[in-house]
Structure 1
Amino acid sequence: MQKKDIYAVVDLETTKTSQDDGHIIQIAIAFVQNKTIINQFSTMINPGTNIPRHITQLTGITNGMVKHAPYFEEVAQTIHAMLQGTIFVAHNVNFDLPFLNIEFSRLGITPLDSDAIDTVPLSQLLWPTAPGYRLVDIAKYLGILHEHPHQADSDAATTAELFISILNRAQSLPMVTLQSLTDLPLVLPRQSKQVLVDALRLNREKPQPLAHNLQVIDGLAIRRFSAPAPLVDDQNVTYPAKPSQKKQLFGDTLTYRDEQAKLMNFVDHHYDQADNDLSQKAPGTDALVIEAPTGMGKTLGYTLPYAYLAQKNRKQVVVSVPTITLQNQVVQVINQQLNAILPFEVRAVSLKGQTHYLNLQSFKRSLNVDEGSAALQFIKAQILVWLTETLTGDFDELNLINPQTEFMNKLSQPANNPTGSAFYGHEFSERQHIIAQESQFLVVNHAYLASYAHKLGPKNDAAYLVIDEPQHLPDAVVQQSRRQLNFNRWFDDVNEAQFLFDRSANVNIQTILTRIPGGRKLKNRFLESIHQLQAEIPQLETKLYRRFLLNQKEVLGSGVHDFPVDLHELAQFWVEQAGRVQKIHQGIADLQTCLNDFLDEFSQLKHVFSVDERQTIADFRRCLNLIANSEHSLTVFQQDLVEFPEASVFWLTQNLDQEGQHLKLSGGLLHTVDYFKTRVYPHFMPVTLIGATLFTSNKSNYLYDRLNIDRSTAEVHTFNDVFDYANQSEFILVNDAVNPTDSGYVDYLSRTIADILEHVHENTLILFNSLETIQQVYQQLQKMNVANKNQLTILVQGITGSHGRILKRMQNEQGIITLGANSFWEGVDLPAEQLRLVIITRLPFDQPNSIPQKAEEAFLRAQGRQPFYQSTLPKAVLRLRQGVGRLIRTPTDYGAVVMLDVRMLEKPYGKTLRNMLPKTMPQVVRASQAVGPELAQFFKQHDEKQHHLD
């Protein structure tokens, strides 16, 4: 491809996406030469058939607009002549080019056989952190004006601008990166890879100097990194306590809000008055507890006073949040919003586990390995480009298409010999901790806090601790403690280690050892340990089965069966099997010692070994790590029995199939009694707990019990709702719903939802408790043809897309109906028309029949407490408040919630649930058939009001 080449950037609008029975309704071509749009062509096409309504909604093209347009056969020869001798470019070229060629063939015109380029994969490769790759998304990301999405003339012009950006981006990459990209066995549509080949050729013809912010290490171009300068140690800062001081500080950058200002003052006052005294308080005492509703700006509300406290008292602040997404948001608020107004510099860094960060040595090795997967090679290409941009190496920055967990874990694995690696001192996981030393705020997620509380903050001076949305922290601890010891997988991992050791094909560990000093002794030690594990692990599984399952009276069929395990019997079992367990521990310890000795010798001879040999060593290490991970689960199980004997639960899962039976031992913490008091709080100043939904009733101790907080010493503040729920919302309770346990429940849900969707075509989130129920309702809605009948799009968690992809469509499209469970109850931020209606199919009670749930109920009863009122109901209240909280997100928002569970009206606990809804939110009761008309009237009134305001 040369400067003289002409690129024809084509876009089609069609009646259907199917090439067999679809017809073109518009075609546009933008001609590009030498990175300039030199000409454009566009015409409507009469398809000879009616345009489907959903296509008109998407494109804005009506039957009237094409009525007098030419038929394709009238312009086909002209279009064919224009495209001859050009390079065909499209955003998804394998749609536009085949579709056009089929139309040519139908008329007896020779199909185009020109070179073709696809801008979709090139965009994914060259901008790997872009939020999306639909034309409208990537254009917005790159700042390309796209006036009329889904109209061919606008799409073609936008794609042409995108293509020019692609050429410029590719040619700006370092030569070493382009060389690596072209060396990869990269599979791109048609001739798309030629863009990279041409960029390399041009770079060689006229070499460009390496950008000053890049450096090349062992053939990889990466962003330069230098340790941040120390923070300015200025303790003479005065917190702006008065409204006038805050307004002066905010200036024109931020809006002053009374309630947010009160929140700031509560934080400052609680910790500034007696800072030294607080550091001596008992864990769990003198906490600051704040319930701050959505829309109040709580993140800025607590980070601003903490910035002053950190600066004044030379302390760090650890902020723990439930999700990675919230981590990024908090870091952004601190580094951007706070830094824009504060009279001193403030820094925040996000800390995550090692598996979140790319290891440069492992990635470098992967470039020489062809896994036989086009998808994995494409990810490597994206990472090569990303390395020229990223300072963190955090995988979460990337927008990857279905990355394989095992492959990504390989890329995060530390080098065989870290100190001998060319990248020693440059690895990304090291960078984050260097930055953390010079940051006031360390932002982590709840799981990270639970694991590394003892390592956060300076050891000689307790850090501050803020737990944002703390109601999720106990669940994070419990889930993290829950482990599985899968005996079949454990044994398979040991056999895999044996296979890698002496396999006959390819490279094996045994042959590598022949070139290592002392390799013969290491070989014998490795084999002895592996054989010991191969003998003892199956025996332990057999003993476990005989002790707990052999005498089960129930006759079991094939499938998966769970059995609770008595804690005292399990403790006694470990005592009886202490000798066998010790042999397993010893065998794994010996394997690790052998591996360390092996790697020490290997590091001295690193240049002797081929890429295949190095990969074999890495695979062997990973296999031994999996074996050790299973052993760690065993160790944790035994520790929990000692440290938390009354707060743990264990069960055996028996899987019966054609190959026999397999056992899994599962278990972990049942709840968090004393966990935070002993494992988290001792490392910090008294904690701040802040969230939008903390309390389950005015008198409930649920929050304090789960988080080990001394209620008598806590300072508690609850703020009123920010939004005008009386005028922005409505909560509809159905009084004739079918009970969730009835056989006709799914039919009722399907019919009622279908009726509502006939009256309301707003973006809707339908919340379920069960994925199984979602699938059943979705099947019924499909049979009833609800989507087509109402021109709606139904998206289903786990069926039509991932959580993230579904949310993205709700953010960008109208008429979206989402059926979701679990993660859709919380953390979903869809303001205005992105979400107008929430339908709750069932009260969000935990599934009652699981072994952990039964064990928790038994534990509470043993304490003389009522499980339903002390655990089940409070959890449901929090969940319901979170579900309702998805609706109103801004002061101008409006929308409705429908509850299809009659228990909220009929059961005694229903009043508790209703009382915890936003106080001014109108609650109305209707029969199922009246819900649709009620909603139609609600939205008509609000749409008219909105139209009048506009």
Structure 2
Amino acid sequence: MKEKVTYAVVDIETTGGNVASGDRIIQFGCVLIEDEKIVQQYATDINPLVSISKQIEQLTGITNQKVAHAPYFEDVATTIFNLLDGCIFVAHNIQFDYRFLSEEFVRCGLPPLSISGIDTVEIAQILLPTEPSFRLNDLAAAFNFSHENPHQADSDAYVTAELFLMLKKKLKQLPLVTVEKLVELAYHCTMQTGQFFKDTLSEMYTERPPLPKQLIVKEGLALQQKTVDYEQRTHRVPVHYPVTNKEKEELFQQKLTMRTPQIKMMDEVYDYFSEHQSEHQSEHFAIEAATGTGKTLGYLLPLAYLATPQEPVVISTYTTLLQKQLFEKDSKQLNAILPFTIQTAVLKSKRHYIHLAKFQEVLKDPVENQLDALLRMRTLTWLTETTTGDLDELNLTNYLQPFWDKIRHRGWVDTMQEDPFYEQDFYLFAQEKIKNASIIITNHAFLCHDLHRKEPILPDVQKIVIDEAHHLADVATEASSEIFSYYRNQHLLRLVGKLAEEKSFLGRLNQLVPKNVGIQTSQLNLIEMSTLALEEELSLFFEELVMYCHIEMTEAQKKQDQIDLQFVRTTSWSLELRKLTKKVVALLQDVTILGMEVTQQALAQRKQLTQRERHLMDDFFELMQTLEEQTAIFQHIFQNSEQNEVTWFSFKQKSPKDSFVIKRSRIDSSEFLRKKLVEQTKSILYTGATLELNSAFTYFEKQLGEQPLRKLLIPTPYDYRDQAKLWIPKELKPIKQLSKKQFAQMIVEYLEVLVHCSNENMMVLFNSHETLQAVYDLIQQHSAFLGRELLAQGLSGSRDRMLKRFFHSAGGILLGADSFWEGVDLPGKSLRLIVVTRLPFESPDRPFTKARYQWLEREGINPFMADAVPKATIRLKQGLGRLIRSETDKGVLLVLDDRLVHTSYGQQMLTALPSEMTKEVISKEDLGRELPLFLKDEQ
């Protein structure tokens, strides 16, 4: 008879993370599980005999008073040791709880822990591959576990037990073929976590569950079955656009709230695209729809009645995140009210999708490390769930691990039909969905890159909606950027490698020579010699380039760590650099020409190659293409010259050569957009919340190379007179008179005023990451902020995770720059206070900005008034837009920059903000008194 297994699910709360430094346990919680049921609970407070810090009190709710009369750990150590004896130890992030508890046992004269251990974090990462966060609180919220006292041991242990049971159930629901592969890889898991998979597989062999109906097994991989949905418009009752408000009310019913501004937008969009369907006019349309209008549905609903798979509409939005939201949330909301179904599809590049044949080959390779095993296991589970194969579903913060590069889709050099997973290929499936969709959703970066391509991927459409349109010009400029870096090119050359290196491309290609597939060792020798020579010449070139930069740098730049130096073509270029430039170009060309020859010869004999060998040739071909692109960029930078572009050198003083990057970019994209988009597309609708400045679209039109547009301003539905205030402190010193240190101290001084008078969540917006870091450091050292959750961009995880934590905070402080100025939706009490640390001007010292200003001056335009002020004004409007997100919201925007009231351009910026909103200078004392009074009715 099989011995009964008891799982002891444990959580401890401590005064800190290090027993040796005197940290102690303050609470112990344990839940026992047998036969997949919770059978017993045990929890106790523990007197640590050391003071519990304010931060730990705030985090756990456990105070010094609460544990004052609790037993010491020495009193309960034997009880806990005996409780755990013979059990399998389970914890969420086991490395901490197991080690800490074991060290405490030893301190009390007991043996160290030696029982088996399982980590629920790791199991969750494997079995819940699409979850955005694996923190216990977030998983509890995602799966509706009751978790009333987070960071208290009894509650955390119970929730971890529930999670463990759910994960066990989830594992048993996977197909046997997947679980068998997971068991093969689970050997690399933390402690004995692998045993969890092995034991569950044994149970499954006994039960023999059938393969779920929605799954198929192909080449040893369990996959979701996929079908393309086709629109059946010919078989439905004829429908027409709901022209009247009554028809719209019938359509909306109780599912959505009707808003007057949104109805106005719907009708205008419908009329615009209807006119353009029958007429030959080419006027384009810009609609500024203020926050709260409901602009997404404002254009989606009318398009649903006009778009067809034969004449689709392309919608382009700013980011892949917004693209995802349009597809997963907004289009589903639309289909919920329509009397028919409209098919939408997402258009992304190949690299977003997994290539199944390559993943299958990777599974055959030896596991490189624990992370490699974990990623393989996670992907195996995900393949039983996904119908898109879109890697973005995995919600990873980065895809820099070599694993992702190995399994990404890159297409096929020749015959795709030879791919064993051709019929299940995710990229081809996405293409098929696009052919049958009425609405195609993409993002600005993809759109702009597609406008560059000789053979576009986007279908030839004549109806385009550009959402968040104020970003299009900047994204087009970014899409024109070219980068040549020392590190990247040396990395590419190391991948080419040497014949003697088994894992290098040359080493692996050399193994194909005996197969007579057209590859000769002599050819590979030539590539090796050229590659080694190129590595050396590149190294010499960048050494010389660093020396050149040190000569050209100003004294102020020499004191900085990060150097950005504009390259002026008229500058004297030393003879040595000119020689090295020619050598680098010649060698780059040699390597790519020789590499392409080898590729073509081998691919001509493709039928003699195994699947793995074909992938090797595909990957080598892509590597050669990349080197070819780098050659073209290098030539363009140093041998060509265009007026409308800027080149600059960027590197860190500490490691100048390794960090050296050469960047080239178009300065102005208006001409490019005019020729490639504006003049080529019959109907374009531009929309966003910040297209106009002081009721004029002139700046927006110039950026896009547009003719005077048809325009519509849809005013805000919010009452800014009662809902919002903008305050500028009276005692502010001019920013230019403050050093960087003084400026950071001044910001913290005002944040202290705010935390003393209010427990509001506050978002603090920066222009500079350096200032953000300085403020973060000061807050951490300041007693006034103890107990406040502090989140900082670049220091507290991904943007999404930060916003999620901030939303659930009480009195949280979020320090953000860049993307936090917009696209943040935190309604109600989650965000009612925003601090703008300085007016959001671009740094005029950035090479790109400097070059743009010089170009504008050559055109006879004042760069500050024509470019800097409009951009900063739009940014400020975006910041304000984070504050009021519904008719019941209230909020304060505090600007710590006296230029807003003491300069003419500051007054101009104020005028661009809602006219009815209170904008006033306020003393520090009044600020502390007025803020809680203004927000009191919501507290």
State the TM-score, normalized to the length of structure 2: 0.89
Among 423, 432, 435, the residue aligned to 2:433: 435
- The residue number in structure 1 matching 2:706 is 709
Task: Check 1:255–1:656 CA distance in 2 against 1; reply closer, same or farther (3 A cut).
Answer: closer
Supply the distance in 2 between the matched residues of 1:343 and 1:632 (Cα, whole angstroms).
Answer: 53
- The residue number in structure 1 matching 2:380 is 384
Unmatched 5+ residue regions in structure 1? Answer: none
Q: Is the 8 A contact 1:44 1:66 kept in 2?
A: yes
User: What's the secondary structure of 1:210's corresponding residue?
Assistant: coil
- The residue number in structure 1 matching 2:935 is 942
- The residue number in structure 1 matching 2:419 is 421
Letter in 2 for 1:184: L
Matches within 5 A, 1:81-480: 81-184=82-185, 186-233=187-234, 236-278=238-280, 281=282, 286-311=283-308, 314-370=310-366, 372-400=368-396, 403-414=399-410, 418-453=416-451, 455=456, 458-459=459-460, 462-480=461-479
Supply the distance in 2 between the matched residues of 1:624 and 1:404 (Cα, whole angstroms).
Answer: 21
Q: Aligned-pair distance for 1:433?
A: 0.9
Letter in 2 for 1:871: D
Q: Aligned-pair distance for 1:331?
A: 0.8
* More deviation, 83-92/547-556: 547-556
Supply the distance in 2 between the matched residues of 1:541 and 1:688 (Cα, whole angstroms).
Answer: 49
Among 778, 783, 808, the residue aligned to 1:780: 778
- The residue number in structure 2 matching 1:726 is 721
User: What's the secondary structure of 2:269's corresponding residue?
Assistant: helix
Q: Is the 8 A contact 1:486 1:664 kept in 2?
A: yes
Matches within 5 A, 1:525-544: 525-528=523-526
Q: Is the 8 A contact 2:342 2:438 kept in 1?
A: yes
Among 891, 903, 909, the residue aligned to 1:907: 903
Task: Check 1:359–1:753 CA distance in 2 against 1; reply closer, same or farther (3 A cut).
Answer: same
Q: Does 1:890 align with 2:893?
A: no
Supply the distance in 2 between the matched residues of 1:255 and 1:317 (Cα, whole angstroms).
Answer: 25
Q: Aligned-pair distance for 1:748?
A: 2.6
Matches within 5 A, 1:771-810: 771-788=769-786, 791-810=787-806
User: What's the secondary structure of 1:425's corresponding residue?
Assistant: helix
Q: Aligned-pair distance for 1:146?
A: 2.7
Unmatched 5+ residue regions in structure 2? Answer: none
Task: Check 1:946–1:777 CA distance in 2 against 1; reply closer, same or farther (3 A cut).
Answer: closer
Supply the distance in 2 between the matched residues of 1:860 and 1:238 (Cα, whole angstroms).
Answer: 49
Task: Check 1:765–1:240 CA distance in 2 against 1; reply closer, same or farther (3 A cut).
Answer: same
State, as a whole percentage, how many aligned pairs show the same letter.
Answer: 32
Letter in 2 for 1:450: C
Supply the distance in 2 between the matched residues of 1:673 and 1:15 (Cα, whole angstroms).
Answer: 58
Matches within 5 A, 1:851-870: 851-870=847-866
* More deviation, 905-914/717-726: 717-726
What do residues 764-812 of structure 1 show as CA deviations (whole Å, max 9, x unaligned)? 2211111122223333334444433xx2233222234343332232123
Letter in 1 for 2:480: S
What do residues 102-159 of structure 1 show as CA deviations (whole Å, max 9, x unaligned)? 4444443444432222211111110011132222211222233333333333322222
Q: Does 1:738 align with 2:733?
A: yes
Q: Aligned-pair distance for 1:373?
A: 2.8
Q: Aligned-pair distance for 1:483?
A: 1.0
Task: Check 1:694–1:235 CA distance in 2 against 1; reply closer, same or farther (3 A cut).
Answer: farther
Supply the distance in 2 between the matched residues of 1:551 and 1:780 (Cα, whole angstroms).
Answer: 35
User: What's the secondary structure of 2:210's corresponding residue?
Assistant: coil
Among 757, 760, 765, the residue aligned to 1:759: 757
Task: Check 1:550–1:636 CA distance in 2 against 1; reply closer, same or farther (3 A cut).
Answer: closer
Q: Does 1:565 align with 2:560?
A: no
Supply the distance in 2 between the matched residues of 1:193 and 1:760 (Cα, whole angstroms).
Answer: 49
Letter in 2 for 1:380: R
Supply the distance in 2 between the matched residues of 1:277 and 1:741 (Cα, whole angstroms).
Answer: 56
Q: Aligned-pair distance for 1:392?
A: 1.0
- The residue number in structure 2 matching 1:629 is 629
- The residue number in structure 1 matching 2:514 is 515
User: What's the secondary structure of 1:845's corresponding residue?
Assistant: coil
Supply the distance in 2 between the matched residues of 1:93 and 1:532 (Cα, whole angstroms).
Answer: 51
Q: Is the 8 A contact 1:763 1:835 kept in 2?
A: yes
Q: Aligned-pair distance for 1:941?
A: 4.6
Q: Aligned-pair distance for 1:264?
A: 0.4
* More deviation, 321-330/218-227: 218-227
Task: Check 1:19–1:241 CA distance in 2 against 1; reply closer, same or farther (3 A cut).
Answer: farther
What do residues 544-585 of structure 1 show as CA deviations (whole Å, max 9, x unaligned)? 999999799758879856243348999xx99x9999968855
Q: Aligned-pair distance for 1:432?
A: 0.9
- The residue number in structure 1 matching 2:677 is 680
User: What's the secondary structure of 1:320's corresponding residue?
Assistant: strand
Task: Check 1:371–1:246 CA distance in 2 against 1; reply closer, same or farther (3 A cut).
Answer: same
- The residue number in structure 1 matching 2:647 is 650
State the TM-score, normalized to the length of structure 1: 0.88
* More deviation, 166-175/576-585: 576-585
Task: Check 1:112–1:501 CA distance in 2 against 1; reply closer, same or farther (3 A cut).
Answer: closer
- The residue number in structure 1 matching 2:747 is 749
Q: Is the 8 A contact 2:518 2:605 kept in 1?
A: no
- The residue number in structure 2 matching 1:840 is 836
Supply the distance in 2 between the matched residues of 1:721 and 1:3 (Cα, whole angstroms).
Answer: 68
Q: Is the 8 A contact 1:491 1:534 kept in 2?
A: no
Among 693, 697, 700, the residue aligned to 1:696: 693
Task: Check 1:633–1:809 CA distance in 2 against 1; reply closer, same or farther (3 A cut).
Answer: same
* More deviation, 411-420/770-779: 411-420
Supply the distance in 2 between the matched residues of 1:529 and 1:395 (Cα, whole angstroms).
Answer: 34
Task: Check 1:618–1:202 CA distance in 2 against 1; reply closer, same or farther (3 A cut).
Answer: farther
Q: Aligned-pair distance for 1:661?
A: 10
Q: Aligned-pair distance for 1:655?
A: 8.2
User: What's the secondary structure of 1:42's corresponding residue?
Assistant: strand
* More deviation, 552-561/213-222: 552-561
Q: Is the 8 A contact 1:649 1:855 kept in 2?
A: yes
Supply the distance in 1 between the matched residues of 2:63 and 2:930 (Cα, whole angstroms).
Answer: 29
Q: Aligned-pair distance for 1:911?
A: 1.0
Matches within 5 A, 1:530-679: 554=552, 560=563, 562-566=565-569, 585=589, 588-606=592-610, 620-621=620-621, 623-634=623-634, 645-652=642-649, 665-679=662-676
Q: Is the 8 A contact 2:553 2:565 kept in 1?
A: no
Q: Aligned-pair distance for 1:174?
A: 1.4
Letter in 1 for 2:723: Q
User: What's the secondary structure of 2:712's corresponding residue?
Assistant: strand
Supply the distance in 1 between the matched residues of 2:627 and 2:272 (Cα, whole angstroms).
Answer: 48
- The residue number in structure 1 matching 2:489 is 490
Q: Is the 8 A contact 1:299 1:333 kept in 2?
A: no
Q: Is the 8 A contact 1:508 1:616 kept in 2?
A: no
Task: Check 1:41–1:938 CA distance in 2 against 1; reply closer, same or farther (3 A cut).
Answer: same
User: What's the secondary structure of 1:687's corresponding residue?
Assistant: strand
- The residue number in structure 1 matching 2:808 is 812
Supply the distance in 2 between the matched residues of 1:320 and 1:762 (Cα, whole angstroms).
Answer: 36
Q: Aligned-pair distance for 1:817?
A: 1.6
Letter in 2 for 1:721: T
Q: Aligned-pair distance for 1:289?
A: 1.0
- The residue number in structure 2 matching 1:41 is 42
Task: Check 1:371–1:592 CA distance in 2 against 1; reply closer, same or farther (3 A cut).
Answer: farther
Supply the distance in 2 between the matched residues of 1:207 and 1:485 (Cα, whole angstroms).
Answer: 56
Q: Aligned-pair distance for 1:84?
A: 2.6
